[in-house]
Amino acid sequence: MIQKEHLASSEPRSLTPHRYQVYRQARNGLHHSHGDSIDSPADAVAHFLHATPAFEGGGLHLWDHREQRAVASADWQMETTRMGFPVRQRSNVFHDLSLAVMAEQIAEREKLEQTITNHIRMTA
């Protein structure tokens, strides 16, 4: 009789060289990778914030290969416009506080860049 020994390893289970990956849900319910794998947390958060779903209301997740878990996801709430049309509003949910802080900083930086760009256009 041959016995196999299973050893617990402290090594991450992921064999991918990069840590983060954005996944989009397809209409059939499966999730597919979107874009390249990313090692930098800030770049991964920026990529997630700019990623669009594969279809209206589709799932969108930022996966951490080392932690083997979703660290961010996009939720969709239905809102009604002043004209009475229902629209989906995206809200990003970060399950990691440090990534949530990065997302806020990225959003603030992009808002500042847009303000500066608009000001330059108006003065030119």
Burial of residue 63, with CB atoms counted within 10 A of its CB: 0-12 exposed, 13-18 middle, 19 or more buried: buried
Asked if the structure places residue 83 within a domain, the reply is yes
**Number of domains within the chain:** 1
Q: Which structural domain range is residue 59 located in? A: 20-123
- E-state strands within 12-68: 20-25, 31-38, 60-64
pTM for the predicted model, two decimal places: 0.74
Asked if the structure places residue 86 within a domain, the reply is yes
d(CA 11, CA 15): 10
| Banded pLDDT at 56 (limits 50, 70, 90) | confident
Asked if the structure places residue 41 within a domain, the reply is yes
Asked if the structure places residue 4 within a domain, the reply is no
Asked if the structure places residue 7 within a domain, the reply is no
Asked if the structure places residue 12 within a domain, the reply is no
List, for residues 14-44, the tens digit of each pLDDT value: 455 679 999 999 988 888 999 889 999 999 9
Asked if the structure places residue 11 within a domain, the reply is no
Span 97-104, mean pLDDT? 94
pLDDT value of residue 93: 95
List, for residues 75-94, the tens digit of each pLDDT value: 989 999 999 999 989 999 99
